[in-house]
A and B are shown apart, each in its own frame.
Chain A
């Protein structure tokens, strides 16, 4: 192991040929972020320029009545009110997003498993009007849902147990945890989750997004410093803002920048008063869903110990998906769960349910039970959803089937990634992450790729501005343990066809 790896330093671009103690096997930590090719950047800017010009033209035509206006308009009674939306704010929505909106919000009418049935829609007038054709596209291979371990099932032990639970408890709880909403099934779930993660205690909430936005304000407040990774999720950003602490953003997964900011924070204190910060909280995610990268946890922990900061780890995408037993990014790096102060995660992705949790030592969890905004004011999790998590947890942690699912997911990730790289696509992120973002740069290619894949029977997710930088539109494949090897091979051959049709093989790597 080289010295750089011992300190937890990793290169961002290109492979990092280091081996680290990852659970029971030595694992190669390999991340790649090939820089944008100049040709792709130029083409993308030209795309945007053309679409923008046409946008201005069409806006002009619509304003002066040459073209029919399909958008909803303000009530005539309210014409003297200050306009609700600035006209330029929605320029992007009207003229760029609208043209490719058929690739978003596709309604489905089946369980979001390995294959789905998509309700067909037809768009006309450049995307302004749509209607349902009445047909369904059946058995489309699902490469877009967060179904990492394949627990989105409508038959089997999980769904039977959920139905029993719905009969026993009903569906609604109608009260908050602190009042009359604390059911025995919640306590059981929290204990089981704490045991699974290897921590003292755990508290659960009804929504993953609300877990972040209602609990970060309980842990830090004004006079504290938050160091947040540049690519953190919107819920983390909202939680940080609501806490009123000072937020400083460090470059994505960049340990040097984090160290610099930590050092400045401790040494120079608060900006004007020079008083020391009350607490410093580092917020990172386990797997970043837009980049497919895994956090450099050994590096962050080393810095955390040195500067006495606290670490908040959001494992929304990594719980269940990384590690030999699915315990997340701590197991992946061979680190004990007690080293992370606050472990947060969601049940939506790997467990096929909904909701979020925060786990840690008992003092933390009891503090949140008393002070969390969600525990005090929001209703608790619905019992059938709790039961789904309990059943899937027992399968993941205790049975052969669970281990097989985890192995299948890891295998699928490797096969798919290597397949895409061989085809010449630029794939971001870590080899082991279940999220596979492939860069297309231009929003027009995004639209074309998604539509063509749908014609070939594959459902993919395209993401553009503002979720990604404006030049870096991408398609994000989500691997699932439910996908068979044949489905993955078929997906790769469809990608290969489209790679030559749409000129998508940007990668210069050999």
Chain B
């Protein structure tokens, strides 16, 4: 068939020469048109029109931004001024000029103003000065910090502990160190603001379950399990976490830890427990919610707490197994990029731990006193008491809420009245940005182990009286 090829070419040339003249012209024009299209500048159909320099300047000149913050008068009109405390926030407090018994500061173990702590602090300042002048990685690690970490780990019964220099930053840095984009976190609705900021920083998918409702949590876990079964490859890289608090700051309720540990192993979800209000409160030795329910700390993945309540110092800690906690030394943002805890505050915390270990019955006493006060306050008409019966931190809400503004005013009236009569309590401060900011406003009461029975009786009496007056005022208006 090779003979066909030259024959086809020859035939083509012959037919081309025989074509009429207009063919050449048409085909020539076609070739010229194609060449033009190939070499001309391309254009986009939806090209943005560039503005001229004059137009840009006009736009810049005419743009008016919003003011950075609302005007001063508006801010002052909407907010209450801070109360001024003169002196120590111990058992007796002078606030706005009134001498009161302090049921507002969360000084549960009465360590504020403790003489032993003071002595140790003096010695510490004379050795280390005040500030640490550096983050942990760059000569900001003092032997005091290492000692505190060891003591906390030993106290709680964990393998390793890690200290942060601010309580708020502790949980807000711990969560994003482990949970990243694509992971799933199951959180109780009532968690505190610091946890919410940690969740936001982690960029993970957040699934809220009803406050302390284990059935709702289980439903959501089962739902997730179904989704995982459909796509096992994806599920094999998505980490799942549960974040709860030992005693919730917003409601004073205790979490159901045994059930949570059961869910952890059944649904393969890691468990982080935030124990700021239960550390130094629950358990025979004050070890927190794990001791209270008799569950070994190694069953939890991470225990986070701040030392600003029971230990009356500043800062926070995370503790757990080496495998989990060690990671935060390089990836806990608030740990790596912030100056370390001033040594005197670390020393105060160590002394607080020493005092707690020497008097293990203060924890039971604290819970007893808390239960006593709660009993006295339960019967008051017009308010509802919310909280675990033995929790030293509980809430009082209006029994029949009207509107958020009126309820808040009612509570502030109660607080002011109590203060004038020598009992200092406070409305729990909240921000609109908090998830579920439609939580009813409440008064948060904090019981200190330093209070005697007479003090508790007096507190109950004064609060009852104040509530009655406030209720009458409302009925009258």
Q: Determine which of A277, A354, A362 lies in contact with B131 in the assembled complex, contact meaning CB atoms within 8 Å.
A: A354
CB distance from B99 to the nearest CB of A (A): 14
Interface size on A, residues (CB 8 A): 118
Check B128 against A234 for contact (C-beta < 8 Å): no
The interface-forming segment of B13-21, B137-145, B402-410 is B137-145
Contacts of A166 in B (CB 8 A): 118, 121-122, 125, 344
A377 to B128, CA, bound (A): 30
Check B65 against A309 for contact (C-beta < 8 Å): yes
Contacts of B126 in A (CB 8 A): 154-155, 159, 163
Check B68 against A341 for contact (C-beta < 8 Å): yes
Check B134 against A171 for contact (C-beta < 8 Å): no
Residue of B nearest to A349 (CB): B133
Check A111 against B129 for contact (C-beta < 8 Å): yes
Check B139 against A154 for contact (C-beta < 8 Å): no
Bin chain B's interface residue count: 35 or more
Check B125 against A163 for contact (C-beta < 8 Å): yes
CB distance from B140 to the nearest CB of A (A): 8
B236 beta carbon closer than 8 Å to chain A: yes
Known A173-B105, A182-B82: A112·B134 in contact at CB below 8 Å: yes
Q: Determine which of B105, B169, B236 lies in contact with A207 in the assembled complex, contact meaning CB atoms within 8 Å.
A: B169
Residue of B nearest to A371 (CB): B431
Check B75 against A276 for contact (C-beta < 8 Å): no
The interface-forming segment of A20-28, A69-77, A501-509 is A69-77
Q: Could you mark each residue 445-463 of chain A with 1 if its beta carbon is under 8 Å from any beta carbon of chain B, else 0?
A: 0000000000000010100
B348 beta carbon closer than 8 Å to chain A: yes
Number of inter-chain CB pairs below 8 Å: 350
Residue of A nearest to B115 (CB): A167
Contacts of A142 in B (CB 8 A): 139
Known A175-B105, A277-B65: A72·B337 in contact at CB below 8 Å: no
Known A108-B142, A181-B89: A376·B430 in contact at CB below 8 Å: yes
CB distance from A153 to the nearest CB of B (A): 5
Residue of A nearest to B267 (CB): A81
A313 to B128, CA, bound (A): 31
Check B70 against A367 for contact (C-beta < 8 Å): yes
CB distance from A406 to the nearest CB of B (A): 17
Check B129 against A180 for contact (C-beta < 8 Å): no
Check A180 against B85 for contact (C-beta < 8 Å): yes
Q: Determine which of A81, A174, A187, A234 lies in contact with B106 in the assembled complex, contact meaning CB atoms within 8 Å.
A: A174
A90 to B191, CA, bound (A): 31
Known A153-B129, A207-B166: A171·B121 in contact at CB below 8 Å: yes
Check A266 against B342 for contact (C-beta < 8 Å): no
Check A174 against B312 for contact (C-beta < 8 Å): yes
Check B71 against A170 for contact (C-beta < 8 Å): no
Check A369 against B82 for contact (C-beta < 8 Å): yes
B429 beta carbon closer than 8 Å to chain A: yes
Check A172 against B107 for contact (C-beta < 8 Å): yes
Q: Determine which of B60, B165, B265 lies in contact with A267 in the assembled complex, contact meaning CB atoms within 8 Å.
A: B60
Contacts of B88 in A (CB 8 A): 168-170
Question: Which residues of A in the span 326-365 have a Cβ within 8 Å of any Cβ on B?
Answer: 341-342, 346-349, 351-354, 362-364
A400 beta carbon closer than 8 Å to chain B: no
B358 beta carbon closer than 8 Å to chain A: no
Known A72-B326, A170-B113, A172-B314: A158·B345 in contact at CB below 8 Å: no
A181 to B239, CA, bound (A): 39
A492 beta carbon closer than 8 Å to chain B: no
Question: Which residues of A in the span 88-128 have a Cβ within 8 Å of any Cβ on B?
Answer: 93, 97, 104-113, 116, 119
Contacts of A146 in B (CB 8 A): 133-134, 339
Q: Determine which of A110, A187, A233, A385 lies in contact with B130 in the assembled complex, contact meaning CB atoms within 8 Å.
A: A385
Contacts of A270 in B (CB 8 A): none
B381 beta carbon closer than 8 Å to chain A: no
B210 beta carbon closer than 8 Å to chain A: no
Check B166 against A109 for contact (C-beta < 8 Å): no
A77 to B308, CA, bound (A): 34
Check B63 against A276 for contact (C-beta < 8 Å): yes
Q: Determine which of A73, A108, A213, A377 lies in contact with B192 in the assembled complex, contact meaning CB atoms within 8 Å.
A: A377
Q: Name the residue among A109, A172, A175 with the largest chain B CB count within 10 angstroms.
A: A172
CB distance from A41 to the nearest CB of B (A): 26
Check A158 against B130 for contact (C-beta < 8 Å): yes
A491 beta carbon closer than 8 Å to chain B: no
Q: Could you mark each residue 100-114 of chain B with 1 if its beta carbon is under 8 Å from any beta carbon of chain A, else 0?
A: 001011110001111
Q: Determine which of B64, B69, B314 lies in contact with A367 in the assembled complex, contact meaning CB atoms within 8 Å.
A: B69
Check A176 against B429 for contact (C-beta < 8 Å): yes
CB distance from B2 to the nearest CB of A (A): 58
Q: Determine which of A82, A145, A169, A182 lies in contact with B134 in the assembled complex, contact meaning CB atoms within 8 Å.
A: A145
Contacts of A347 in B (CB 8 A): 131
A197 beta carbon closer than 8 Å to chain B: no
Check A159 against B130 for contact (C-beta < 8 Å): yes
Check A75 against B321 for contact (C-beta < 8 Å): yes
Q: Could you mark each residue 127-158 of chain B with 1 if its beta carbon is under 8 Å from any beta carbon of chain A, else 0?
A: 11111111011111111011000000000000
B313 beta carbon closer than 8 Å to chain A: yes
Check B344 against A384 for contact (C-beta < 8 Å): yes
Q: Determine which of B72, B89, B430 lies in contact with A366 in the assembled complex, contact meaning CB atoms within 8 Å.
A: B72
Known A73-B323, A85-B327: A180·B89 in contact at CB below 8 Å: yes
CB distance from B96 to the nearest CB of A (A): 10
Check A459 against B139 for contact (C-beta < 8 Å): yes
B26 beta carbon closer than 8 Å to chain A: no
A278 beta carbon closer than 8 Å to chain B: yes
Q: Name the residue among B56, B146, B194, B338 with the largest chain A CB count within 10 angstroms.
A: B338
Known A366-B72, A377-B193, A382-B345: A178·B82 in contact at CB below 8 Å: yes
The interface-forming segment of A42-50, A235-243, A246-254 is A235-243
Check A364 against B79 for contact (C-beta < 8 Å): no
Contacts of B197 in A (CB 8 A): 213-214, 242, 373
B246 beta carbon closer than 8 Å to chain A: no
CB distance from B314 to the nearest CB of A (A): 5
Check A267 against B239 for contact (C-beta < 8 Å): no
Check B118 against A167 for contact (C-beta < 8 Å): yes
CB distance from A370 to the nearest CB of B (A): 4
Contacts of B353 in A (CB 8 A): none
Check B169 against A234 for contact (C-beta < 8 Å): no
Residue of A nearest to B51 (CB): A267
A210 beta carbon closer than 8 Å to chain B: yes
Question: Which residues of B in the span 164-201 have a Cβ within 8 Å of any Cβ on A?
Answer: 165-169, 172, 178, 192-194, 197, 200-201
Known A104-B137, A180-B89, A263-B60: A175·B82 in contact at CB below 8 Å: no
A390 to B268, CA, bound (A): 52
A306 to B65, CA, bound (A): 12
Known A154-B125, A210-B169, A376-B431: A180·B344 in contact at CB below 8 Å: no
Between-chain CB contacts (< 8 Å), 24 pairs? A106-B139, A109-B142, A109-B143, A112-B131, A119-B143, A146-B339, A170-B114, A172-B111, A178-B429, A180-B102, A181-B89, A206-B314, A207-B334, A209-B334, A214-B168, A234-B336, A242-B197, A348-B131, A352-B130, A354-B341, A373-B197, A377-B168, A377-B431, A461-B138
Besides A142-B139, A180-B105, 11 other A-B contacts (C-beta < 8 A): A145-B140, A162-B125, A170-B118, A172-B311, A175-B106, A177-B82, A182-B84, A267-B60, A310-B65, A352-B133, A378-B166
